[in-house]
């Protein structure tokens, strides 16, 4: 007998029924993200065929070169979220400032979306996986007034939902609303995300470590010693250069992903608000851990700037704990 297919929309509606106080607003927002990611997926898949490839020539707010598909993904998500009126503002890697969305039919939007619309975009030209990362906050200020900066710079602990979409050999959307993590694979024949991985759990430890080992000599002593330890254990090094893809592997198979500080990036390279926090929420919800290389819990770091950076060590709980021991031991040696 065939197993019944559960689509993303069905799953979202069913999950909402478990919350008596739910208004349907968050559900609609999640469905809008699902629609936007199908459109992005279509463009990512045909990127080699149309003139949408290559560096556009401008720089984004954090100094990276902007590529055309980044812009497309950014615009598509903003457009999809603008139509239903559930989202009051968006913080995007591609925009220096907060994007305030106009009210739709006088609706008082309760949510703020933070996102990296296309993470790992330097992979596009070579046909390697990229992803979308998102986090959703409930605004703190009164929904009838103007959105404020404080609504957008909440800590990761305040996230009401987060997720990512990986445009890989197949396209998968993984999200959490704080009660477990579920993954939905896009079935191109029916154009629907279908539940493929329910209640995902990260292995307590695994055989993979993921770090840009080319920067080895630029890492602090404690990080070099920990990487030596991973190598001594014959762990497998895997580094795609797209955080979504690298962490996705670790979520499924166990391991640790590291982006430590270097001389070029003294505070790390990855962005706290829309890269580290959403991925940390997912990994923690799956039973993993996420801390900075200075051993702070990622989700608890105060956010002062929408484009703030953080170092990160994320993945299987036993491996993050072990990395922590190396930092404690070798930073004491340095002191
Ligand atoms: P980009 O979107 O500019 O390609 O950056 C990707 C991010 C992240 O996804 C990845 O883990 C990291 O940058 C890779 O940085 P390095 O090239 O410095 O290793």
Residue 195, classified by CB atoms within 10 Å of its CB into exposed (0-12), middle (13-18) or buried (19+), is middle
pLDDT band of residue 62 (cuts 50, 70, 90) is low
157: pLDDT strictly greater than 80: yes
The tokens 């909440």 sit on which residue? 154
| pLDDT single digits (tens) 19-43 | 766 778 999 999 999 999 999 999 8
63 Cα: distance to centroid of ligand 1 (angstroms): 12
Structure letter (DSSP) for residue 276: I
Residue whose CA is at the smallest distance from ligand 1 atom 5: 120
d(CA 280, CA 297) in angstroms, rounded, equals 9
pLDDT, average across residues 180-195: 96
Highest averaged pLDDT of the listed ranges 23-27, 48-52, 223-227? 223-227
Q: How many CB atoms lie within 10 A of CB 39?
A: 15
Least-confidence region, from 86-95, 121-130, 171-180: 121-130
Annotated catalytic, 322? no
Q: What is the pLDDT of residue 67?
A: 55
* Residue 257 structure tokens: 């992903």
Domains with residue ranges and CATH for the chain: 8-197 (3.30.540.10), 208-334 (3.40.190.80)
* Residue 240 structure tokens: 């795609």
Ligand 1 atom nearest to CA at 246: 11
List 8, 32, 81, 94, catalytic entry:
94
List 119, 151, 220, 246, catalytic entry:
119
Q: How many residues does the chain have?
A: 335
Q: How many CA atoms lie within 13 A of 47 on its CB side?
A: 25
Mean pLDDT of the chain: 92
Q: Coil, strand, or helix at residue 285?
A: helix
d(CA 36, CA 76) in angstroms, rounded, equals 6
The tokens 């993993």 sit on which residue? 288
């Amino acid at each position: 007998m065939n197993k019944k297919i559960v689509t993303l929309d069905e799953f979202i509606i069913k999950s909402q029924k478990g919350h008596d106080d739910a208004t349907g607003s968050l559900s609609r927002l999640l469905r809008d993200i699902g629609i936007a990611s199908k459109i992005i997926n279509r463009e990512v898949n045909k990127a080699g065929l149309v003139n949408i490839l290559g560096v556009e020539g401008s720089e984004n707010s954090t100094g990276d070169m902007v590529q055309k598909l980044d812009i497309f993904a950014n615009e598509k998500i903003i457009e999809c979220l603008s139509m239903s009126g559930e989202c009051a503002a968006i913080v995007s890697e591609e925009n220096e400032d907060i994007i305030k969305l106009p009210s739709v039919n006088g609706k008082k939007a309760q949510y703020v979306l933070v996102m990296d619309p296309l993470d790992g975009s330097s992979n596009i030209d070579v046909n390697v996986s990229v992803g979308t990362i998102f986090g959703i906050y409930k605004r703190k200020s009164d929904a009838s007034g103007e959105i404020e900066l404080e609504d957008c710079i909440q800590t990761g602990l305040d996230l009401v939902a987060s997720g990512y979409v990986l445009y890989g050999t197949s396209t998968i959307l993984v999200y959490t609303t704080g009660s477990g993590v579920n993954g939905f694979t896009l079935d191109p024949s029916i154009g629907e995300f279908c539940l493929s991985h329910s209640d995902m759990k990260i292995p307590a430890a695994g055989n993979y470590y993921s770090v840009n080992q080319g920067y080895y000599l630029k890492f602090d002593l404690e990080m070099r010693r920990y990487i030596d330890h991973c190598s001594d254990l014959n762990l497998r090094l895997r580094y795609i250069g797209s955080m979504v893809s690298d962490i996705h592997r670790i979520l499924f198979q166990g391991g640790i992903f590291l982006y430590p500080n270097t001389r070029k990036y003294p505070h790390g390279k990855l962005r706290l608000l829309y890269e580290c926090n959403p991925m940390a929420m997912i990994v923690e919800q799956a039973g993993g851990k996420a801390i900075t290389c200075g051993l702070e819990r990622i989700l608890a770091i105060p956010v002062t700037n929408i484009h703030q950076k953080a170092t990160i060590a994320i993945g299987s709980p036993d491996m993050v704990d072990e990395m922590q021991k190396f930092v404690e031991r070798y930073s004491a040696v340095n002191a």
